Chains A and B, each alone.
Chain A
Amino acid sequence: MPRALVIEDDEVTARDIVAELGAHGLNAEWVANGRDGLARALENGYDIITLDRMLPGMDGIDVVSELRKRAVETPVLMISALSDVDERVRGLRAGGDDYLTKPFAPDELAARAEVLLRRHRRPETGETRIRVEDLELDLVKHNALRGGQPLTLLPTEFRLLEFLMRNAGQVVTRQMIFEHVWGFHFDPGTNVIDVHIGRLRRKIDGAGQVPLIRTVRGSGYVLAPAD
């Protein structure tokens, strides 16, 4: 069972995070301040850390900087009430792997944590092909096949499909898609992401084929065959 460390000073938020991660099969432990959080992160091998940005005793930025300085590569999901782009940049530069703004929907937190866990377990080490069921993506030739048949994808659709395939089986939220595929961190606020997914879906899930892209209502999308 993967282990998560939750460094969060607000008890209610911490309880929510622990419960949500637990619901997703992670064994989460809670620490209420930065210094203890850093000590615990250095002692025990956790699979993922959620780290509040503003902590008593030691700031979240300092905690993640110290971890990286000491060669601890555990993925860190930074959580902060500071939504400013500059703050996000600071958090990521200090060594955070992702940045989530408070208040957040727990499923958003869980989705991001799962993506980080997966990326940590299977780092992108020069793989040239990704395969999910009969869907194949060649990262060198930049082409896609479904059941051996080539798919005609626009550059954005290719990037979108790559992101979904790399996280196959994981729910990814619209915001995560927007951040990873387009590289922007504001709220697009429209159904544009749904439209892009819809177009990709029409190209991938042809008639008579097992639908691979599924909508998870109230949450986002997942690329995986139906159970």
Chain B
Amino acid sequence: MRPLTDAWRSATSRLILIYGALFAIWCVVLLGVVQWESSRYLTNVVDGMLAARLHYLERTDPHRLRDTVDAASAIDATGFMAAGLFDAKGQRIAGNIEKVPAGLDEDGVIHAVQARVDENSDEPARRARGMANTLPDGERLVVVKESAVIDGLGAIIRRGALWGLSLTLIPGVLGGILIARRPARRVREIQLAMEPIREGDLSVRLPVSRTGDEVDLLAGTVNTTLGEIERLLGEVKGVTDNIAHDLRTPLTRMRTRLYRVQQQIEGTPEAEQLEAAVEEIDTVLARFRALLRVSELEDRQRSACFESMDLGTVLKNVHEFYAPLAEDRHQVFELDVGKLPHLRGDPQLMFEAFANLVGNAIKFTPNGGAIRLVALTDPTGDARVDIADTGPGIPVGEREAVFRRFYRSDETRSKPGCGLGLAIVSAIVRLHGYSLAVGGNDDGAVFSVTCPAA
């Protein structure tokens, strides 16, 4: 599971960012439309004023036109509402504009131009709208209005938009991040709670807060499902255990009766048959014992018997216990214990686990083969115990399955056993919080138990 460490990865943060981006785009579009509409309106107003002024000047008595143009341009000394009368060669006759602005045709139509009232000033030409027409006597009449008011309005709207977005988006995003932290924290809590569940502990439940939000609803649903799974698994396990438990008593009694009869008729051929029957019952009883042992270990959710454990001594005892068996089979059984970290555990249970692993290694390794029991401290500081043999090995496809109850591969069906040894090992290892892996190849299997240092 990927850890949710980055706040930006959370769904809430992503939603906030997407919403913020959409909001910004929407604001820009809205203000763009407002600016465009305002500019259009003001342009129309300016154009109307220019058209009205030109219209008025065109209809002025030609004899008074020069004075009228001068008077009209004098009205607007600062606002750059200029008017000018020019001869056919473009020389100014009257008005406050010295030259006909470039690109202003005498067609009675509004044009956007760059204009300057005083040609000798250092001021740059300003954006303006102008209109010109040729009078019947060949003179040219020009009216120009600076469009600063239109541009100014655009600038005001743009500044407003910038402030508005800043004041909305920055607190919004910051607030969003702060708000997103809580769900992210809760998701992390749920993630942590899920860890033991992934390890197979179905008794754990996800944390539920009092807010009753979507996360709580989801956690509640998962908890209900976990409870149901736990109940069903418990029932299945209970049925299996009960069968094993309930059959042991009649089987034991049957064994007792057969054994007594066998003792009474000792030395006859029938006694041998009875002995074989007793051995068969012993095999079945051993399987039931192993099955109940697995259940007992799986149910044990505590570490009451855990103590400071000398793993080296445990392994030496296992080696000493099994060495005669390996010797009888002409197998080389080596023990190599290096320096090991301090561990906490139950030595009795760990002996049982390693005894099962070593017993299997001896059982599946042909006569004359070799078994190595090696314990060392790995680079991470944990203890690692390898049980390597020169048996047939475990096919890659079966390496998960071998730890299941009753699993017998084709290789092992001919050997004695009940397919529960590795389930016992697995349960003991899990109880300790250790890990168990199987590797190797066709030249043998390697079981590795990693024990984190205490």
- Contact surface of A with B, Cβ cutoff 8 Å: 16, 83-86, 89, 102-107, 156, 182, 184-192, 195-196, 198-199, 217-219
Given A85-B348, A184-B351, A192-B322 in contact, is the A217-B275 Cβ separation under 8 Å?
yes
| A residues less than 8 Å from B275 (CB atoms) | 217-218
State whether B304 touches A192 (Cβ < 8 A): no
**Shortest CB distance A11–B (Å):** 13
Select which of A84, A103, A185, A196 is within 8 A of B324 by beta carbon. Answer: A196
**Closest beta carbon of chain B to A84's beta carbon, Å:** 6
A16 near B256 with CB under 8 A, answer: yes
Complex: A186 Cα to B421 Cα, angstroms: 12
State the Cβ distance, A93 to closest chain B Cβ, in Å: 13
Shortest Cβ gap from B153 to chain A (Å): 87
**In the bound complex, do residue A188 and residue B355 qualify as a contact, i.e. CB atoms below 8 Å apart?**
yes
Cross-interface CB contact of A190 among B259, B317, B325, B349, cutoff 8 Å: B325
Which A residues are in CB contact (< 8 Å) with B290? 187, 189
B319-339 residues with Cβ-Cβ distance < 8 A to A are 320-322, 324-325, 328
Contact with A along B266-284 (1 / 0, CB 8 A): 0000000001001100000
Specify which of B296, B351, B352 is in contact with A84 (CB 8 Å cutoff): B296
B289 at the interface (CB under 8 A from A): yes
Whether the Cβ atoms of A105 and B255 lie closer than 8 Å is: yes
B contact residues, total (Cβ < 8 Å): 36
Interface residue from A86, A185, A189, A218 paired with B359 (Cβ < 8 Å): A189
A195 touching B324 by the CB < 8 A rule? Answer: yes
Which A residues are in CB contact (< 8 Å) with B259? 105, 107, 218-219
Give, as a whole number of angstroms, the nearest-CB distance from A182 to chain B. 7
Q: Write out the residue numbers on chain A whose beta carbons fall within 8 Å of the beta carbon of B363.
A: 190
Does B293 sit at the interface, judged by CB under 8 A? yes
B317 proximity list for chain A (CB < 8 A): 182
Q: Which residues of A contact B293 (CB under 8 A)?
A: 83, 186-187
- Closest B-chain residue to A155, C-beta based? B320
Closest CB in chain A relative to B453 CB, distance in Å: 25
Q: Using known A-B contacts A16-B253, A105-B256, determine if residue A185 contacts B348 with beta carbons closer than 8 Å.
A: yes
Does B34 sit within 8 A of A, measured CB to CB?
A: no
Contact with A along B129-160 (1 / 0, CB 8 A): 00000000000000000000000000000000
Closest to B351 in A: A184
**How distant is A186 from chain B, measured CB to nearest CB, in Å?**
5
Using A187-B289, A196-B324, A217-B275 as known contacts, list a sample of 16 further A-B pairs with CB atoms less than 8 Å apart, ordered by residue number in A: A16-B253, A16-B256, A83-B296, A84-B296, A85-B305, A86-B304, A105-B252, A187-B290, A187-B293, A190-B359, A192-B359, A195-B325, A198-B324, A198-B328, A199-B324, A218-B278
Shortest beta-carbon distance from B255 to chain A in Å: 6
Chain B's nearest CB lies how many Å from the CB of A190?
5
CA distance A105 to B355 in the complex (A): 25
For residue B443, give the distance in angstroms from its CB to the closest CB of chain A. 24
Residue B174 at the chain A interface, CB threshold 8 Å:
no
- A16 contacts across to B, CB distance below 8 A: 253, 256
- Min CB distance A132 to B, Å, is 23
**B248 in the interface (beta carbon within 8 A):** yes
- A89–B346 Cα distance when bound, in Å, is 13
A199 to B286, CA, bound (A): 25
In the complex, what residues of A have CB within 8 A of residue B188's CB? none
Shortest CB–CB separation between residue A99 and chain B, in angstroms?
14
- Across chains A and B, which 6 residue pairs bring their CB atoms closest together, nearest first? A103-B252, A103-B249, A195-B324, A103-B248, A186-B352, A195-B325
Any A CB within 8 A of the CB of B399 = no
Assembled-state Cα–Cα distance A86/B359 (Å): 25
Q: How far is the CA of A106 from the CA of B260 in the complex (A)?
A: 10
Given that A187-B290, A217-B275 are contacting pairs, would A104 and B321 also be in contact in the complex, using a CB cutoff of 8 Å? no
Collect the chain A residues with CB atoms within 8 Å of residue B355's CB: 188
A195 touches B286 (CB 8 A): no
A182 and B318 CA atoms in complex are apart in Å by 10
**Given that A107-B259, A218-B278 are contacting pairs, would A195 and B359 also be in contact in the complex, using a CB cutoff of 8 Å?**
no
A106 CB to closest chain B CB, in angstroms?
5
Tell whether, in the assembled complex, residue B324 and residue A187 are in contact, meaning their CB atoms are under 8 Å apart: no
* B residues in contact with A217, CB < 8 Å: 262, 275
Whether B300 is near chain A, meaning CB under 8 Å from some CB there, is yes
Highest count of chain A CB atoms <10 Å: which of B292, B355, B359, B421: B355
> A86–B305 contact, CB under 8 A?
yes
Nearest A residue to B258, CB-CB? A218
CA distance A73 to B346 in the complex (A): 31
Write out the residue numbers on chain B whose beta carbons fall within 8 Å of the beta carbon of A106: 256
Closest chain A CB from B331 CB (angstroms): 12
B292–A83 contact, CB under 8 A?
Answer: yes
* 19 interchain pairs, CB-CB under 8 A: A16-B253, A85-B305, A85-B348, A89-B305, A103-B251, A103-B253, A105-B252, A105-B259, A107-B256, A156-B320, A156-B321, A182-B317, A186-B293, A186-B348, A189-B359, A195-B328, A196-B324, A198-B328, A219-B259
Name A193's closest neighbour in chain B (CB-CB): B321
| CB proximity of B451 to chain A, nearest CB, Å | 19
Which residues on A sit within 8 Å (CB–CB) of B324?
192, 195-196, 198-199
Complex Cα–Cα for A16 and B252 (A): 11
Taking CB as reference atom, which chain A residue is nearest B282? A218
